[in-house]
Structure 1
Amino acid sequence: MDKVITSAKEAVSDIADGASLAVGGFGLSGVPNALIEAVHEAGVGGLHVVSNNCGALDSGLAVLLAAGRIARVTGSYIGANAEFARQYLAGELEVELIPQGTLAERLRSGGHGIPAFFTPAGVGTQVAEGGMPWRYHPDGTVALASPARETRVFHGVEYVLEESITTDFALVRAAVGDRHGNLVFTKSARNFNPLAAMAGRTTVAEVERLVEPGEIDPDHVHLPGVFVQRVVELTPQQAADKKIEFRTVRGRAE
C-alpha cells in the first residue's frame, strides 16, 4: 500500500515514446512541474497530451512543447501560448479543441468507466457537425479535420455524443498526500487535477506535503488513493515554487 516513489525521475521512468498523458493544472495553478520536467529529462517524445492548456510562461507543458516532444493535444485553451499557436498553425502539432466543461466530463467519465455521454455543448457547431481543423498542412490548408458526431434529441433538446477519455498515464499535483495515495488539493489548484488523475491508467502525484495514512480526515480527501498508483514528495523548494501568470496590483489608499 505504500505508493511513495523516491524521485520524479523514477516515477515516470516507464513513460515511453507515443504515450498518452492526462495532466492536471490550469494556467500556472496546480501544474505538476516536477513530473513534467522529469518527463522532459527522460527524452521521450511523440506524446499525446490531454490537458486544459499546454503550459504558460515557459513552464509546465510548455517545456515539452518547446522541445518538440508533443505530437497531439486535446484541450480547451491556447491563450497567450504563442509557441502552441505557431506549432498548430504550421502543421507541426495536432490539436483537438473542445469545450472546457466537455473536457472535464470526458476525463471524469473515463475514470468512472462511462464510455460516452450526451451533452448540449457544441450542438450546431463544428464540434458536432465536424470539420474543425485538427491538423494543418504547412501551407495553411487543413490536413485533418474532426469527424461529425452522433446527435440525438431528448425531450425536445438536441445533444451531441462525446466519448470519454482514458490515458496511459496521468500527472497531477496536490497540496497534501499520504502513502496510500489519498490526495487533498488547495483552492484553484483543485481544477483539473482530480479529473486527470481519474482518467490515467497509471497516475503519478507530486505532493507538497507527505503525511502518514490516517493523518488526513477522510471527509477532507478530495481524491481517494484508489485512483493513484505513485506518490512523489516535493522538496521544500519545489513546493514553494509557484509562478504568477498575471500580477494585478493597485496603489495604496492615502
Structure 2
Amino acid sequence: MIDKQWHSAADAVADITDGSSLAVGGFGLSGNPIALIEALLAQGTKDLSVVSNNCGVDDWGLGVLLGAQRIRKMTSSYVGENKEFERQFLSGELELELTPQGTLAEKLRAGGSGIAAFYTQTGVGTQVAEGGLPRRYNADGTVAVASPAKDVRTFTVDGEPREFVLEEAITTDFSLVHAAYGDRHGNLVFNKSARNFNPLAAMAGRVCIAQVERLVEPGELDPDSIHLPGVYVHRIVEVGADIPKRIERRTVSAVATAAEGA
C-alpha cells in the first residue's frame, strides 16, 4: 500500500529550497493552500518563482510570501486586489509574466500531461503574441525585461485560415494545493469553487503536496467522485475542516438591506 500521508505541513514543505518553482492552487481566496503557504513562510524559503492565477491579497494566501519578499517571479492571469504586488512590480522588485487565464490553465494541464506546447487563438494580434509586455521594471520606471515575441502560425479551421500563437507548457519543481477530501493514496476531491486551478496546479508539479480538510482511508471515496487521481499527488497533509477560509470581498445590495430591515 502506498501511504502518502505526512504528519505536518512543515515536514511536507521542508525540502522546498531557495529558488524553487511552485504551481499553487486557488482562485482569488478560494481554495488557497494556506497551511502549506504559511509553513513555507515560516521556514524562510526565498527567491521563489510562483505560477498561480493570482497572488492573494496583502495579508492572505500567496500575499504573505509576497509581503515577506520571498517571491522573485509570478506567472499569473490576474494581479489586482494586492497593493504590495503593485508596488513591488512597478518598483522593479518583482518579475511578472502576465498570461491569459484560459491559456494559463491549459499550460498547467499540458505540463502535467506531457505535452510540450500547443497553439491557441488567445492573444493573437496583441502583445501576448507580438512581445513587448513589461515583465520587470527598472527602479526608474523604464522596462528592464519585456516579453519575447512568440511563434504565430496559420491553420485552416472550418475552411478558413486563422492565426494561432504557440504557448509552451508549464512544469514546476513543486505544487501546493488544497482539497476538501483526500485518501492516503493521494486521491483528491475538491469542494465547489475550490476546484479551480487546484487540479491543474497539482498536475504541473514534479512533487505535488496537498493539504486536505479531511483524510480518509483508501476505498472510502467514491471512485466516480474523485476529481484528481492520486498518481499526481506525492504528499498529503490533513489540516482539519476548521482551517480559516477568507472571503475576498463581501457585498450586500441596498435592496437586500432594506428588505431585511422591513
TM-score normalised by structure 1 residue count: 0.98
| In structure 2, distance between residues paired with 1:172 and 1:237 | 17
- Residue pairs, 1:1-254, within 5 angstroms: 1-155=2-156, 156-238=161-243, 241-249=244-252, 250-251=256-257, 252-253=259-260, 254=262
Take 1:136 and 1:230, find their aligned partners in 2: how far apart are those partners? 37
Shift of 1:235: 3.2
Look up the equivalent residue of 2:191 and give its one-letter code: T
SS at match of 2:242: helix
Residue aligned with 1:248, SS: coil
RMSD, aligned CA: 0.8
**What is the Cα deviation at residue 236 of structure 1?**
4.2
More deviation, 55-64/187-196? 55-64
Alpha-carbon displacement from aligned partner over 1:157-176 (angstroms, at most 9, x marks no partner): 00000000000000000000
The CA distance in 1 between the partners of 2:221 and 2:82, in whole Å, is 37
Deviation at 1:248, TM superposition (A): 1.8
- Structure 1 contact 76–100 (Cα < 8 Å) conserved: yes
Q: Radius of gyration: which is bigger? A: 2
Counterparts in 2 of 1:236 and 1:218: CA distance versus 1, 3 Å: closer
Instruction: Give the Cα–Cα distance (whole angstroms) in 2 for the partners of residues 193 and 136 of structure 1.
Output: 30
8 A contact 1:57–1:245 mirrored in 2: no
CA contact (8 A) 1:70 1:93 kept: yes
Unaligned 5+ runs, structure 1: none
The percent identity for this pair of structures is 66
Shift of 1:143: 0.2
CA distance, structure 2, for counterparts of residue 57 and residue 98 of structure 1: 21
Q: Deviations over 1:86-119 (max 9, x none)?
A: 1000000000001000000000000000000000
For each residue in 1:13-68, what CA deviation from the matched residue of structure 2 results, as whole angstroms up to 9, or x when unmatched? 00000000000001110000000000000101000000000012511100000000
Distance in 2, matches of 1:19 and 1:164, equals: 17
For residues 86 and 123 of structure 2, the distance between their equivalents in structure 1, rounded to whole angstroms, comes to: 22
SS for the counterpart of 1:237 is: coil
Which amino acid in 2 is paired with 1:173? H
Number of equivalenced pairs:
252
- Paired letter, 1:207: V
Report how far residue 242 of structure 1 moved.
Answer: 1.0
More divergent stretch after superposition (50-59 vs 21-30): 50-59
1:124-156 Cα deviation digits (max 9, x unpaired)? 011100111100000000000011000000110
**Separation in 1 of the partners of 2:241 and 2:145?**
45
Distance (whole Å) between structure 2 residues aligned to residue 27 and residue 80 of structure 1: 9
How far 1:237 sits from its partner (Å)? 3.3
